[in-house]
């Protein structure tokens, strides 16, 4: 091989390398993006998995008074049902926890921390039984994404638990969460009456374009949302199917 030929081959190999290096980088980047999309798809599948509600308890045997009432109502006008809990007496339906729950969250009623962006949200409400009795000391464990729609899976940002007061009331100071890809805007929560089973569910925001397309969105779980002086205010009443 003469000198000219060697130079020609060397130049060609340099050209090939110059082409191959960026091509490899692009393929690697696409692979990374593909993996992230797959992880998000898997997370959404876990979050939107349907949870079967627990079976409704068998109706209690009718008392003598109820039987009498039934007989009487057949002959006379039926009395309207006694209003209870302002229609909040149906148990709050369960929903999946999704893949991003972290146990042992800090005890706190404010998830706000310096440097965290987002619209402030003051979420308050009450925990009741199906008999409309306030559940004092009920545990509430909240978690949601940051303003950009990302969960903190290494620390406890936007994660925290608290206990309802003697009237079953709670208040949480946080932000309006961002939107996790593939889901509509939501807040995760676990609620538990002392020594009773845990209710795991999610809360939703009214007026969100993503609500109707979300696999498990349930209008029963919509927050009552309003504008506030420094952000938003929301209310929700949890009803637990406990004795």
Nearer to Fe ion, 135 or 176 (CB): 176
The answer to the question of residue 177 lying near Fe ion (CB under 5 A) is: no
Nearer to Fe ion, 98 or 168 (CB): 98
Whether the CB-CB separation of 159 and 143 falls below 8 Å is answered with yes
HSE on the CB side for 189, CA within 13 Å? 24
The answer to the question of residue 98 lying near Fe ion (CB under 5 A) is: yes
- Tallying the residues shown for the chain, one arrives at 243
Q: Which stretch binds Fe ion (CB under 5 A): 44-52, 89-97, 168-176, 219-227?
A: 44-52
Nearer to Fe ion, 158 or 242 (CB): 158
Nearer to Fe ion, 47 or 214 (CB): 47
The two beta strands, 198-204 and 224-228, are unpaired
Nearer to Fe ion, 47 or 241 (CB): 47
Encoded tokens for 60: 């209690």
Residue whose Cβ sits closest to Fe ion: 98
Q: Which stretch binds Fe ion (CB under 5 A): 42-50, 73-81, 163-171, 190-198?
A: 42-50
The answer to the question of residue 160 lying near Fe ion (CB under 5 A) is: no
Contact string (CB under 5 A) for Fe ion, positions 45-84, x = contact: --x-------------------------------------
Per-state percent for the chain, helix, strand, coil, to nearest 5: 25, 25, 50
Least CB distance to Fe ion at residue 145 (A): 7
Encoded tokens for 38: 């797959």
Cβ neighbour number for residue 93 with a 10 Å cutoff: 16
| Residues contacting Fe ion: total by CB under 5 A | 2
Least CB distance to Fe ion at residue 11 (A): 55
| C-alpha R_g of the chain | 27
In whole angstroms, give the CA distance from residue 24 to residue 80. 73
Helix, strand, or coil (residue 112): coil
Interacting residue ranges for Fe ion, rule: CB under 5 A: 47, 98
């Amino acid at each position: 091989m003469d000198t000219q030929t060697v130079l020609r081959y060397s130049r060609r190999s340099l050209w090939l390398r110059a082409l191959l290096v960026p091509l490899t980088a692009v393929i690697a980047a696409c692979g990374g993006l593909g993996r992230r999309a797959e992880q998000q798809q898997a997370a959404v599948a876990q979050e939107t998995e349907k949870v079967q509600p627990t079976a409704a308890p068998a109706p209690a045997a009718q008392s003598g008074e109820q039987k009498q009432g039934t007989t009487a109502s057949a002959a006379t006008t039926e009395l309207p049902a006694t209003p209870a809990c302002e229609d909040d007496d149906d148990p709050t339906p369960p929903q999946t926890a999704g893949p991003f729950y972290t146990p042992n969250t800090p005890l706190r009623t404010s998830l706000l921390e310096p440097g965290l962006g987002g619209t402030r949200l003051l979420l308050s409400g009450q925990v009741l039984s199906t008999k409309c009795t306030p559940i004092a000391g009920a545990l509430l464990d909240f978690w949601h994404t940051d303003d950009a729609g990302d969960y903190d899976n290494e620390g406890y940002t936007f994660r925290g638990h608290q206990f309802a007061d003697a009237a079953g009331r709670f208040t949480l100071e946080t932000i309006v969460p961002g939107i996790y890809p593939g889901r509509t805007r939501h807040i995760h929560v676990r609620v538990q009456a002392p020594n009773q089973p845990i209710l795991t569910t999610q809360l939703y925001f009214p007026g969100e374009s993503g609500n109707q397309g979300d696999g498990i969105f349930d209008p029963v779980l919509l927050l009552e949302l309003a504008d506030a002086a420094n952000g938003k205010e929301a209310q929700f009443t949890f009803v637990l199917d406990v004795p």
